[in-house]
């Protein structure tokens, strides 16, 4: 949160003209003080003004009392990655105020609670001390509520300083407190007090301003976990299990909420979904394996430590061919790591998870639309492929609010994959559970309970032949393993393919998931500042199709951008396509904060400097 940098988009203090719709706000508060609602109100008001926005909540692994930050970026060009630089800082936390101030670049505006002790002598900053405590005393008679309400005062101050339209703030408030008219009134009064104070007391407003535009169309503002839950709901999930763990809990919690309305039979009042809080991750995955086997569309959601605990069952699902979906909302590992920070840290571990030879389809959503879409499709894929499908999201996507196009409804029947019912079984000749009759490595299965008496078979994690009979035959084992390889390697046509941008540049950038947003901006930076045009491939699933290899081969060098220390996607690409490995260069970011464009463009720029062009 501190490292002072030269503001790139900001100007120096001497630079007078206003900068419109290009700013980053950072609010430093104390965890548990209710600042989240205030920050979202700011974010939403900007969004309603039609300005592209993004918000990042940098919260501690603690319930109340530790420092927390919220950054909002508003950018007319639609850049929504985190920006390192802060233009407008709001200081509400005595613990961090000095570090917060030290960390902003020259030219920034600093609003601070005037009761905080801090050195405000930096001449390159624009300090606005505000009497937050006095203001809140006026609007909020109940002492115990002041700690919460004070945050709305800075909302008002910021709104006035940068030009957020007050009616939009009011509208955002009305949304947040829809069910609580008293709270709405109180908070609105606090906002107004902030606005009023700023209007009356701050002569030189901020150089950083916002102004209404029309970039947001019919977009929503939603977090990735909710989007995944909606996707799973519309994708027909019937058994969902979980063990609470940040940052995945809110995915299942959103599903629980949705299911209450959308999966309760209006006539009988009975549920068309089972959502179970398991006693741990071993049980959570065991339940979805049992459910997938018995024909449910089953999913579980977890994060890194849960993946480690699930590894044994993951291998069983691969080898016994059980459909299920595993959402991994990645956080900073290894071990407990930084549990409330983001990372693309489980890419290698998931791709080949469990002992022995394995390989699992993985989807890498980069945005809300894909969070919804991949969640929905993952249930089809799992049943089609009869295997465990990983959806690798991360804390940044999962827990932050993002703009998104409205979700599209889809009328298709679900793909339940190759399932023989009683009728089909009666016709089937010499059916074998693990026979490759279609040449795609995918066998036909039956569901327990199918009448007729012909469909029963035995599922196991030990050696089995085409008819699911126990065997220790080495040949049968190898045949089966070869088929499994064909099945997984052959599924790329069913997976969301890579997205290419640009064509013909010698330098490529390859990224996936939430790294996308920084890469888009970094490409523009490289072009504008370095004259370096790059092609870009965004990988959206594993195993990769041949087009990924071919794309890499069309480039002299390819920067693989990712949010982990070890270049895990680079590793996986090299395993799958050894011939391209030497062309891959790693751009890695791993401090737990969402990736910013500068980290990408600077790394590529530095590497290119060292590369004879």
Partner 1 sequence: MSTEAPAAGGPKTNRVGLTVADYRGGPSTLCKGCGHDVITNTIISAFFEMGVEPHRVAKLSGIGCSSKTPAYFLNRAWGFNAVHGRMPSVATGAMLANRQLVAIGVSGDGDTASIGIGQFVHLLRRNVPLLYIVENNGVYGLTKGQFSATADEGSRLKNGTLNDLPAIDLCTMAIELGCGFVARSFSADRKQLLEILKAALAYQGTAMIDVLSPCVTFNNHEGSTKSYDWGRDHEGPIHELGFVPAWTTPPVEFKDGEAVEVPMPEGGSIFIQRVEQGRHDPRDKAAALRLLQEHYQSADSFLTGIFYLDPASQSFVDRLELTDDPLCGLGAGELRPSREALEAIVESLR
Q: Which two tokens stand for residue 536?
A: 């870009």
Residue list 330-359, contact with ligand TPP (CB under 6 A):
336
- Which of 197, 243 has the CB closer to ligand TPP? 243
DSSP tag of 527: I
146/445 with CB nearer its own copies: 445
| Contacts (CB under 8 A) with its own copies, residues 441-460 | 460
Site residues for partner 1, 249-288, by CB under 8 A, read: 249, 258, 262-263, 265, 268-274, 276-288
Measured from the CB atom, the residue of 166 and 454 that comes closer to partner 1 is 454
For 23, the enclosing helix (H) or strand (E) is: strand 22-30
> How many residues touch its own copies (CB under 8 A)?
71
Pick from 531, 482, 515: nearest CA to 600: 515
Q: Is 349 in the site for its own copies (CB under 8 A)?
A: yes
Task: Select the binding partner of residue 293 from ligand TPP, its own copies, partner 1, none (C-beta < 5 to 8 A, by kind).
Answer: partner 1
CA atoms in the 13 A half-sphere facing the CB of 557: 13
Residue 354 binds its own copies (CB under 8 A): yes
Residues 124-163 that bind its own copies (CB under 8 A): none
Minimum Å distance from CB 354 to its own copies?
5
Residues 324-363 that bind partner 1 (CB under 8 A): 335-336
Backbone dihedral angles phi then psi of residue 511, each to the nearest 5 degrees: -150, 180
| Coil/strand/helix, residue 134 | helix
- Interface with partner 1 in residues 393-422 (CB under 8 A): 406-407, 409, 412-414
Among 234, 243, 364, 559, binds ligand TPP (CB under 6 A): 243
Phi/psi zone of residue 567: left (φ > 0), alpha (ψ -120 to 50 degrees), beta?
A: left
Among candidate residues 229, 223, 189, 193, the one with its CA nearest the CA of residue 44: 223
**Cα gap 162→209, rounded to integer Å:** 4
Q: How near is the Cβ of 459 to partner 1 at its closest, in Å?
A: 5
Residue 315 in contact with its own copies, rule: CB under 8 A: yes
Q: How far apart are CA 296 and CA 324, in angstroms?
A: 9
- The 3-state DSSP class for residue 444 equals coil
Report the site for ligand TPP in 302-321 (rule: CB under 6 A): 305-306, 309
> Considering CB distances under 5 to 8 angstroms, the limit depending on partner class, which of its own copies, ligand TPP, partner 1, none binds residue 184?
none
Cβ–Cβ < 8 Å for 166, 152: no
Q: How far is the CB of 36 from partner 1 (least distance, A)?
A: 13
Closest CA relative to residue 359, chosen from 369, 367, 368, 349: 349
Segment near ligand TPP (CB under 6 A); pick from 241-249, 464-472, 523-531, 545-553: 241-249
Q: By CB under 6 A, name the one of 244, 432, 497, 574 that touches ligand TPP.
A: 244
Task: Give the number of C-alpha atoms closer than 13 A to the C-alpha of residue 542, restricted to the C-beta side.
Answer: 30
Name which of 105 and 592 has its Cβ closer to its own copies: 592
Rank residues 313 and 444 by Cβ distance to its own copies and give the closer one.
Answer: 313
558, 567 Cβ separation under 8 angstroms: no
User: Which of ligand TPP, partner 1, its own copies, none lies near 459, with the C-beta cut-off 5 to 8 A by kind?
Assistant: partner 1
Strands annotated E in 38-185: 53-58, 67-75, 88-91, 109-113, 126-130
557-562 vs 53-58, strand pairing mode = unpaired
Would strands 22-30 and 88-91 be described as parallel, antiparallel, or unpaired? parallel
| Among positions 265, 267, 413, 475, the unique one binding its own copies when judged by CB under 8 A | 475
Question: 358 or 367: whose CB is closer to its own copies?
Answer: 358
Cβ atoms 539, 511 nearer than 8 A: yes
Phi, psi of 54 (to 5 degrees): -150, 150
Is residue 574 at the binding interface for its own copies, with CB under 8 A as the rule?
A: yes
Report if residue 19 touches partner 1, rule: CB under 8 A. no
Whose Cβ is closer to partner 1: residue 293's or residue 559's? 293
Write phi, then psi, for 470 (nearest 5 degrees): -60, 135
In the complex, the smallest distance separating the C-beta of residue 483 from partner 1, rounded to whole angstroms, is 20
Residue 86 or 227 with smaller CB distance to its own copies: 86
Q: Which stretch binds partner 1 (CB under 8 A): 2-10, 289-297, 388-396, 525-533?
A: 289-297
Q: Is 32 left (phi over 0), alpha (psi -120 to 50) or beta?
A: left
- Give the whole-angstrom CA distance, residue 429 versus residue 37: 62
Residue 443 touching partner 1 (CB under 8 A): no
- Binding letters toward ligand TPP, positions 267-286, x by CB under 6 A: --------------x-----
Contact 207, 16 (CB under 8 A): yes
DSSP letter string, 568-586: HHHHHHHHH-GGGGGGEEE
* Cβ proximity to its own copies, 77 vs 462, nearer residue: 462
Identify which of residues 115 and 462 has a Cβ nearer to partner 1 in the complex: 462
Give residues in contact with ligand TPP (CB under 6 A).
Answer: 243-245, 281, 305-306, 309, 336
């Amino acid at each position: 949160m501190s490292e002072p940098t030269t503001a790139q988009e900001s100007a120096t203090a001497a630079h007078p003209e206003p900068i419109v719709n290009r700013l980053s706000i950072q609010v430093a508060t104390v965890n548990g003080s209710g600042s989240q609602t205030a920050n979202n109100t700011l974010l939403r008001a900007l969004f309603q003004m039609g300005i592209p926005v993004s918000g990042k909540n940098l919260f501690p692994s603690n319930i109340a009392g530790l420092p927390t930050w919220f950054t909002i970026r508003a950018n007319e060009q639609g850049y929504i990655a985190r920006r390192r630089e802060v233009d407008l800082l709001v200081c509400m936390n005595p613990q961090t105020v000095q570090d917060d101030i030290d960390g902003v670049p020259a030219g920034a505006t600093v609003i601070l609670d005037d009761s905080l002790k801090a050195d405000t002598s930096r001449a390159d900053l624009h300090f606005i001390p505000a009497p937050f405590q006095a203001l809140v005393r006026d609007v909020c008679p109940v002492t115990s509520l002041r700690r919460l309400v004070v945050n709305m005062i800075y909302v008002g101050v910021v709104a006035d300083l940068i030009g957020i339209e007050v009616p939009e703030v009011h509208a955002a408030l009305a949304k947040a407190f829809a069910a609580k008219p008293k709270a709405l009134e109180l908070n609105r009064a606090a906002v107004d007090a902030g606005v009023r104070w700023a209007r009356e007391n701050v002569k030189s407003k901020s150089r950083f301003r916002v102004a209404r535009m029309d970039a947001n169309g019919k977009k929503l503002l939603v977090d990735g976990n909710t989007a995944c839950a909606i996707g799973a709901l519309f994708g027909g999930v019937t058994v969902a299990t979980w063990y609470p763990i940040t940052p995945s809990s809110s995915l299942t919690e959103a599903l629980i909420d949705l299911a209450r309305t959308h999966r309760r039979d209006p006539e009988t009042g009975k549920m068309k979904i089972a959502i179970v809080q398991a006693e741990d991750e071993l049980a959570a995955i065991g339940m979805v394996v049992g459910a997938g086997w018995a024909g449910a569309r089953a999913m579980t959601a977890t994060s890194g430590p849960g993946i480690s605990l699930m590894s044994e069952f993951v291998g069983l699902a691969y080898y016994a061919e059980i459909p299920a979906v595993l959402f991994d909302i990645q956080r900073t590992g290894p071990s407990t790591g930084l549990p409330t920070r983001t990372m693309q840290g489980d890419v290698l571990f998931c791709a080949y998870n469990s002992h022995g030879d394995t390989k699992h389809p993985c989807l890498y959503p980069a945005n809300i639309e894909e969070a919804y879409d991949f969640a929905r499709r993952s249930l089809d894929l799992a049943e089609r492929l009869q295997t465990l499908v990983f959806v690798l999201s991360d804390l940044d996507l999962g827990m932050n609010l993002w703009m998104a196009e409205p979700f599209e409804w889809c009328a298709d029947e679900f793909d339940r994959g190759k399932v023989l019912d009683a009728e089909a079984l009666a016709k089937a000749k010499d059916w074998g559970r693990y026979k490759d009759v279609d040449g795609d490595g995918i066998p036909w299965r039956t569901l327990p309970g199918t009448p007729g008496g012909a469909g029963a078979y035995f599922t196991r994690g030990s050696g089995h032949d085409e008819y699911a009979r126990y065997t220790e035959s080495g040949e049968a084992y190898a045949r089966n393993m070869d088929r499994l390889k064909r099945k997984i390697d052959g599924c790329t046509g069913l997976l969301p393919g890579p997205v290419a941008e640009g064509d013909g540049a010698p330098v490529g950038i390859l990224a996936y998931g939430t790294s996308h947003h920084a890469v888009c901006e970094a490409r523009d930076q490289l072009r504008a500042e370095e004259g370096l045009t790059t092609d870009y491939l965004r990988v959206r699933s594993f195993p990769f199709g041949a087009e990924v290899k071919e794309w890499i081969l069309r480039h002299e060098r390819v920067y693989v951008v990712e949010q982990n220390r070890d270049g895990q996607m680079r590793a996986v690409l090299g395993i799958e396509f050894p011939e391209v490995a030497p062309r891959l260069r790693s751009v890695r970011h791993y401090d737990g904060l969402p990736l910013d464009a500068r980290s990408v463009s600077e790394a590529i720029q530095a590497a290119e400097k060292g590369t004879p062009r």
